[in-house]
Amino acid sequence: MPQAVFSTAWRWPDQDLRPLFARAHDTGARVVHMASTLAEAQQAAESGADVIVAQGTEGGGHVGLMGTLPLVRMVVRAVAPLPVLAAGGIADGAGLAAALALGAEGVLLGTRFLATTESPLPEAYKQAILASDGHDTLVTEIPDVASGTVWPGAYARTYRNRFVERWLGREGDLRAQRRTVTASVQQARATGDVDGGALLFGQDAGLIDSIEPAGHVVERLVSEAEHILHKLERVPH
């Protein structure tokens, strides 16, 4: 039978996760905690998490500042034998194979699933992901300032569109005009205006060139990773 999963991320610095994780375990759920730093991963492991997601800055949405490659390896070594999933910048079978080579048990995908037929994003947003080469994203606090939210220790990787360009270096002005800006951002989302608000996706958008059913994405990634790993097994040592 499928098991319930309780997923968390971005705790407050002084927050004790143990009572929260204990409550989740009392319901029979597995606890998965996403971390962007080694210290956060270790704290979650000590608090009773069942799985740690090591998320690198290449991912879209809320991220830290360390790359996926070193972070995943450090977390795997630090929390063993607890299983680790890799996240951030992974969109194809090569990324899955690399994560397994680093010692992760699997991967967690974000941006790749945004460009699927099941994704609720407006079609124009999906097309922006397909058109991106990954270099047109940046890490900033602008999306959170515009929405009036606070994610402790987090930044947001977002598409560098006209909305972001307008407010870069003007975060103070953005805070002063937040009510008006928030309304315009919500309107942009509702109408699929790619340049009118924050569009959060990762650098791996440069690896995405088609909108597919989510099931096809999973099947293809697994097939590609198996092919790569089998090929590497045949390399003479």
pLDDT band of residue 191 (cuts 50, 70, 90) is confident
Distance CA 165, CA 179 (A): 19
Q: In the prediction, which pLDDT does 2 show?
A: 77
What residue type is assigned to position 187 of the chain?
Q
Tell me the pairing of strands 155-159 and 61-63: antiparallel
At 201, list the tokens.
């996706």
Q: Is 84 helix (H, G, I), strand (E, B) or coil?
A: strand
Reported as a single tens digit per residue, the pLDDT across 9-45 is: 999 989 999 999 999 999 999 999 999 999 999 999 9
Q: In the prediction, which pLDDT does 31 show?
A: 98
> Do 52 and 79 form a contact (C-beta atoms < 8 A)?
yes
Please report the sign of the dihedral spanned by the C-alpha atoms of residue 75, residue 52, residue 12, residue 204.
Answer: positive
Nearest to 204 by CA among 20, 98, 85, 58: 58
Q: In the prediction, which pLDDT does 237 show?
A: 64
Express as a percent the part of the chain with pLDDT over 90: 86
Summarize the confidence of residues 157-165 as an average pLDDT.
Answer: 96
Question: How many CA atoms does the CB half-sphere of 36 hold within 13 Å?
Answer: 22
Reported as a single tens digit per residue, the pLDDT across 78-116 is: 999 999 999 999 999 999 999 999 999 999 999 999 999
Q: Where are the domains of the chain?
A: 5-114+210-233, 123-206
Summarize the confidence of residues 118-130 as an average pLDDT.
Answer: 96
Q: What's the DSSP call for residue 206? A: G
Average pLDDT of every residue of the chain: 95
CATH 3.20.20.70 fits 5-114+210-233, yes or no: yes
What residue type is assigned to position 138 of the chain?
L
Distance CA 184, CA 166 (A): 13
